Each structure stands twice: as structure tokens, then as C-alpha cells.
Amino acid sequence: NTKRKPIVIANWKLNGGLELICTSVASFIGKHFEADIAICPPYIYMRDMLTFLQHSEISIGSQNVSKFKSGAYTGETSAQMLKEAGCKLCLIGHSERRSMFKENNLSCQIKIGNALNHGLMPILCVGENKEEHDAKITKDVIFRQVTECLEGVELDGRKICIAYEPIWAIGTGASATPEIAQDVHSFIRQELIKLYGEETANSIRLLYGGSVTKDNAKDLLAKEDVDGLLVGGASLDPGHFLAICQHA
Ligand code: G3P
């Protein structure tokens, strides 16, 4: 882990409101972190959070980005708009978007291109479901997701992160063990080496997500290829999220 700066990202999903914004801002302002820290609130709160956190070390990210650039696409928000608003990164292909909003590897690939072209750092989410996990085909699933989402994606020095979020661990309280996370992350790293060569692959940060808490964060981050954490439920409690960030 000495090569890569850790990164911790909060994904608020469809949660939060003015009260959470205020308590989060109060907890994070004026603090120094060894890791990169970002919060992905619902779109509607981004501008407020950006204003409140402008002198802090916290970045703001989005939970999604449109695959379209502009036009008649009701309800969408483009990469360019997110960039203009002050966003630094965006989650792409979260399992909830794949399962409930029909996203697939091809749409992720387009979104990654849009994000990179507008200077947003994509956080590509991948992960197998419970059935696939039980059938021990995790690596086949991850291989397909990684190779199809990154097909034709040229990095040219631009940054991307990959978040491994096993679906069976999301919101269940049953986090993957640090060993499982490391095993899958090192597999992803090997695939990235094939796609981008050793130097680039070794610079890409791999995050783990799925029931991360302040109690398991340290052991997960201790693994060689676990370079960061993507936190859902525990990020809705600012004190808890702060404790996780301080482990990184
Ligand atoms: O994107 C983060 C997320 O899916 C994990 O959620 O609640 O298990 O930390 P949670």
C-alpha cells in the first residue's frame, strides 16, 4: 500500500438531508487526512456541500453520470455539468444501478469515457451476487465486468479507480473478509496489468465496498491491494465515517 494514496468514499445513496449535511460538514471541516476523502451525496445537495466544504480536504463526487452528453434526456446529468459544478469523481455501475436501472457493462464503458473526457475520476463498481459467489464464479464475473467496462478506454495518464463491491456484502452487515477482498483485488490488478501494463495498473487504486465499518476498515486496508473503501450505511453517521477515514 506504500505506492498508492488511500481513498475513502462515502456513498449516501438516496439518503441524507440538510441535517446530515450540517453534521457532516461540522465533523469534517478543519480536519487533516492522510487519505483522499470524498462524499457522494444525492445530486441536489452537491452544490451546498461544495460551498460548505470548499476550504476542507473533502471532495464531492456523484453517484452516477449520464451516458448522454446533452439533449432530450429527462432527468439526466452530464459529466460536463458535474465537472462545472465542482465534482471531482463519479461512481459508475454501482450494483444498485445495474440491477434496478438496467445499467450494463456497455453503458458503464460510455460513462467512463464521458467522465474521463471531462476531468472527472471514474470509480467503476464491480462485484458478484450471492449466487455467483456460492457457485465460485466470482472471478469470471469480475473478469467480464472489468474487461467489458474498460474496453477501448484509454487512460493516457488519467486517473480511474475500481471498487470491488460483492453484492452479498452490500447493506447486509456481512463484509467480505480481508482475505477475500485481497484475493479479488489482486485478480483485478493482474487483469489491469494485461490491459494497461504494470506501471499504470500499479497506480490504479482498488477500493473495497460492502458493510465497511470502523471495526473492519483497518484490517481491510491493511491488505496489499486494498487501496481504499467505498462506504454506504456507515457513512450516514458522520462520527462513524470520520473514524473510518482516520484508519486510512
Ligand atoms: O457503495 C457503497 C455500498 O454499496 C456499500 O454499502 O451499506 O454495505 O456500506 P454498505
What is 7-247's CATH topology? Answer: TIM Barrel (3.20.20)
Q: Are 119 and 87 in contact (CB under 8 A)?
A: no
Q: What are the tens digits of pLDDT across the range 47-94?
A: 999 999 988 999 999 999 999 999 999 999 999 999 999 999 999 999
> Among 118, 165, 185, 247, which one carries the catalytic annotation?
165
Mean pLDDT in the chain?
96
C-alpha cell at 151: 474496453
CB of 170 within 6 A of ligand 1: the answer is: yes
Q: Which residue has the cell 466544504?
A: 53
Q: Are 97 and 76 in contact (CB under 8 A)?
A: no
Task: Assess whether the C-beta atom of 230 lies below 6 angstroms from ligand 1.
Answer: yes
CA distance 246 to 138: 31
Kindly list the domain boundaries of the chain, sorted by start residue: 7-247
Residue 3 has pLDDT above 90, yes or no: no
Q: Using most ligand atoms within 8 A of CB, pick from 231, 240, 244, 245 the residue to mutate for ligand 1.
A: 231
pLDDT of residue 119: 97
Query: Which three-class secondary structure state does DSSP give residue 203?
Result: helix
Query: Which tens digit of pLDDT belongs to each residue from 219-239?
Result: 999 999 999 999 999 999 999
pLDDT above 80 (res 2): no
138 lines ligand 1 (CB under 6 A): no
DSSP annotation of 118 = T
Residue 121 makes CB contacts below 8 A (sequence gap 6+) with 88, 89, 90, 115, 158, 159, 160, 161
pLDDT digits (tens, 9 = 90+) for 128-153: 999 999 999 999 999 999 999 999 99
- Distance (Å) from CA 211 to ligand 1 centroid: 6
pLDDT of residue 1: 44
Residue 206, phi-psi category: left (phi > 0), alpha (psi -120 to 50), beta (remainder): beta
For ligand 1, the distance from its centroid to the CA atom of residue 223, given in whole angstroms, is: 19
Q: Which amino acid is at 39?
A: I
Using the atom order of ligand 1, give the atom closest to the CA of residue 91.
1
Integer-rounded Cα Rg, in Å, for the chain is: 17
For the record, the C-alpha cell of 203 comes out as: 497506480
181 has pLDDT over 90: yes
Residue 123 has pLDDT above 90, yes or no: yes
Cβ within 8 Å of residue 26, ≥6 positions away: 238
Using CA positions, which residue lies closest to atom 3 of ligand 1?
Answer: 232
Catalytic annotation on 151? no
Task: Mark whether 165 is an active-site residue.
Answer: yes
Q: Which amino acid is at 73?
A: Y
Query: Which position among 94, 118, 133, 185 bears the catalytic label?
Result: 94
Torsion sign across C-alpha atoms 19, 78, 152, 140: positive
E-assigned strand segments in 13-143: 36-40, 58-62, 89-92, 121-126
